[in-house]
Structure 1
Amino acid sequence: MALQLISRIAPQEYISEVGAYDRLPSALNARFIKKVLFLHGTKSLGKAEKYLPDLPAHGFHVIDITFNGECSNNEIDRVIQLLKNENADAIIGLGGGKVMDTAKAAAYKAGCVPVILLPTMASNCAAWSCLSVMYKDNGECIGHEIFPSQTSLVLVEPRVILDSPIDYFIAGVADTIAKWYESDLQLQQAERSGIALYFSREAARQCLEIPLQHAEKAIQDMREGKLSDDWIQVMETNIMASGLVGGFGDEYARATAAHAIHDALTIRKETHHLLHGIKVAYGIMVELVIEEKFDEMKRLLPFYRALNLPVSLEDLSLGNITRQEIREIAVSALKPTSLIHKYPIQCTVDRVYDAIIELEKWANQNAVK
């Protein structure tokens, strides 16, 4: 069956600049929005609050809602009911990826309510993409949903993201480089051509090359609180370039094997403390073993070491699991709804299991710490 190609390229408006939040009142007025549901995390609001305009003082009615922690069906339903009961004109989502994914999902399912996103971290492309990654209330990933409506406005205040946890930024870098490895084979083997797929592959290429060239310096600058060119370039690559890959390429450039491994790892409670991008980083290595690209693994190894990214089960707090438990992870990676079924290489439970075991041997041979 031919893959689908519907380009959902970008938010309707995207602004990344110091003082970006100051544009919020005029942006709401331009959209005829007077009553907003404001969904946010507690820590995120603490970081962003000093930069936010006083919306009630500008004449807007704000319903303040604290995020419950997971982009789950229960949380989405709660926000939908609030949107409807309050008759809100729009929803503002401020926080990390799960806050923004919840805002997008609830807004669409409530009747295409306009969405305004204020990311406080650069840990993924949630602010850019028109999809939501879904979880159970216990943190287990259950897939994703794509929406036909795009975000109305994204406002990026670099000072807020610079003040966010560095671990989330590093996880965002790891999630971003996965865009290249997961889309490369799909785009190479596409049975169709077109400028959209060309742009998708070029965006994916930058998702690898920019972090490899600039991420270590960007992370150091972040530790020192510097709004440097290196940091801004990597920050926007995490948010924008990574979103453009699937935005242009659709099913030809979606997450596949590395994210399937991430999703499978979430069945283990021991991994729940690990950020999304960290588990994806491990998934990249499993994928490269499946593809027998050991030279590429060696090329990545210094980068992984510098960023303290995982390449072994021990790195994931799974060093003591049994062979049978490893097989259960492989089984989960091959469940019917798994992203791995879009992978151009035919995979089986045995193939994924063998790749995990082979990666363990490779990690030991390369003395990865």
Structure 2
Amino acid sequence: MSFHVVSRVGPQQYSSEEGAYDYLPEFLEALSATRILILHGIKSWQKAAPYFPDLAQAGFDVFDMTFGGECSHKEIARVIEEIHRSRIDLVIGIGGGKVIDTAKAAAVKSGGIQLVILPTMASNCAAWSALSVLYKDNGISIGHELYPRQSSLVLIEPRVILDSPLDYFIAGIADTLAKWYESDSLLTHVGTNHLSLLYARESAKICRDIPLNHGAQAVEDMKQGVLSDAWQLVMETNIIAGGLVGGFGDAYGRATAAHSIHDALTYFPETVHLLHGVKVAYGIMVQLALEKKWDEIHRLLPFYRRLKLPASLQDLHLNKRSEEDIRQLAAYAVSPDKTIHLLPFKVTEDSVLEAIRQLDKYTADSAERNN
């Protein structure tokens, strides 16, 4: 395949500091935006509102819209309808990944209106990336869409994110780790030193090193409500560095096996309550088993145990499933549209099933040795 990359590096502007939201009226005025739609989750708005400027008092026409729960085609269409009906010229997305991805999709598909993003959790890189992860209304993953542009502004208020649920932060750490493990095989087999790929690889290293070196401390600090240097570093890595990998590397810096395993897990009711990054965490382990990188699995297991991330079918409560069910999981993971096939070797239903079984044995043996 000939080399081709289109980099979509990041938002036009961003600020990550206490009081970041105060910049919003000045920015909206500079864009000559007057009719503003705020799309938000219920809990996310409760967290953000104390820091959010009074845009109506500042002279803007503000329209409020509560997110429906899934980044689905139906929900995106509902937001687009409101954009057209109220003649909106700028959307502000406030919330977690699904809210943000819906705002991105609606802004682009409604005719390319301006977009501002205020993430209220550090659970993924949605605020930074030029794509949306799409789901059916029942929560089953159906892939993603890329967009030709990114947001005009990202504002990160650390105090809002520090007050977000801890489990989302941990899921974000896992999803960020995946940026390294999934892009590593792609970026090392491209065969070119294109500068954008060098930037992508350096960003991917950050996605590995900062979580592994500072993630556990950041989690402890968040439990205590301490806005520490370690927490700030990990928080921004979750949001920014993860987005930079795909932003610089395009298809060479995107998902491979770990996210394909995530997609397959969404078909199983036992995993419905698990966050995106938690399912991806298990996907990382299956990918490493496929690659036969058992030393790396050994390295990661203590970190996984400390953060209570799943490394086996038992951790996912799938260990009582039949052999046929687990084979079906493997089959979902290798369907023709899945990014697992970007790995530099042939991946089949049988090889994924074998990797799952070997991983189960390895983690069980490791647990027995540690008891």
Using structure 1 for the length normalisation, give the TM-score.
0.98
Match of 1:291 in 2: 291
Match of 2:234 in 1: 234
Match of 1:308 in 2: 308
Residues 207-255 of structure 1, C-alpha deviations (whole Å, 9 max, x = no match): 0001111011111111111111000000000011111000000011110
2:179 partner letter: K
Give the gaps of 5 or more residues in structure 1.
none
Percentage identity across aligned positions? Answer: 57
1:280 partner letter: V
Q: How does 1:357-368 map to 2 (within 5 A)?
A: 357-367=357-367
Q: CA deviation at 1:63?
A: 0.9
| Alpha-carbon separation, structure 2, partners of 1:289 and 1:304 | 15
Match of 2:201 in 1: 201
Match of 2:28 in 1: 28
> Is residue 214 of structure 1 aligned with residue 214 of structure 2?
yes
> SS of the counterpart of 1:98?
helix
Residues 68-116 of structure 1, C-alpha deviations (whole Å, 9 max, x = no match): 0000000001111111111101100000000000000111011111110
Match of 2:317 in 1: 317
Match of 1:224 in 2: 224
> SS of the counterpart of 2:91?
strand
Q: CA deviation at 1:317?
A: 2.2
| Alpha-carbon separation, structure 2, partners of 1:102 and 1:123 | 16
1:359 partner letter: L
1:264 partner letter: A
Q: How does 1:262-273 map to 2 (within 5 A)?
A: 262-273=262-273
> SS of the counterpart of 1:220?
helix
Aligned-residue CA RMSD (Å): 1.0
| Alpha-carbon separation, structure 1, partners of 2:4 and 2:59 | 44
2:364 partner letter: N
Q: CA deviation at 1:342?
A: 1.8
CA contact (8 A) 1:72 1:135 kept: yes
| Alpha-carbon separation, structure 1, partners of 2:148 and 2:345 | 29
| Alpha-carbon separation, structure 1, partners of 2:364 and 2:3 | 39
| Alpha-carbon separation, structure 1, partners of 2:137 and 2:244 | 29
CA contact (8 A) 1:4 1:252 kept: no
Match of 2:356 in 1: 356
Q: CA deviation at 1:314?
A: 1.7
> Is residue 171 of structure 1 aligned with residue 171 of structure 2?
yes
| Alpha-carbon separation, structure 1, partners of 2:145 and 2:159 | 31
1:136 partner letter: K
Match of 1:187 in 2: 187
CA contact (8 A) 1:312 1:359 kept: yes
1:244 partner letter: L
Using structure 2 for the length normalisation, give the TM-score.
0.98
1:333 partner letter: A
> SS of the counterpart of 1:57?
coil
CA contact (8 A) 1:304 1:310 kept: yes
Q: CA deviation at 1:3?
A: 5.2
Q: CA deviation at 1:185?
A: 1.0
340-349 vs 109-118, greater mean Cα deviation? 340-349
2:277 partner letter: G
1:208 partner letter: R
> SS of the counterpart of 1:196?
helix
CA contact (8 A) 1:130 1:146 kept: yes
Q: CA deviation at 1:158?
A: 0.2
Match of 2:144 in 1: 144
Match of 1:248 in 2: 248
CA contact (8 A) 1:182 1:256 kept: yes
Q: CA deviation at 1:127?
A: 0.3
Match of 1:134 in 2: 134
Match of 1:97 in 2: 97
Q: CA deviation at 1:357?
A: 1.1
Aligned length: 369
Q: CA deviation at 1:152?
A: 0.6
| Alpha-carbon separation, structure 1, partners of 2:269 and 2:31 | 43
> SS of the counterpart of 1:132?
strand
| Alpha-carbon separation, structure 2, partners of 1:78 and 1:156 | 27
Structure 1 stretches of 4+ with a deviation exceeding 6 A read none
> Is residue 69 of structure 1 aligned with residue 69 of structure 2?
yes
Classify 1:162/1:206 alpha carbon distance in 2 versus 1 (closer, same or farther; 3 Å). same
> SS of the counterpart of 1:115?
strand
| Alpha-carbon separation, structure 2, partners of 1:357 and 1:101 | 34
Q: CA deviation at 1:353?
A: 0.9
Give the gaps of 5 or more residues in structure 2.
none
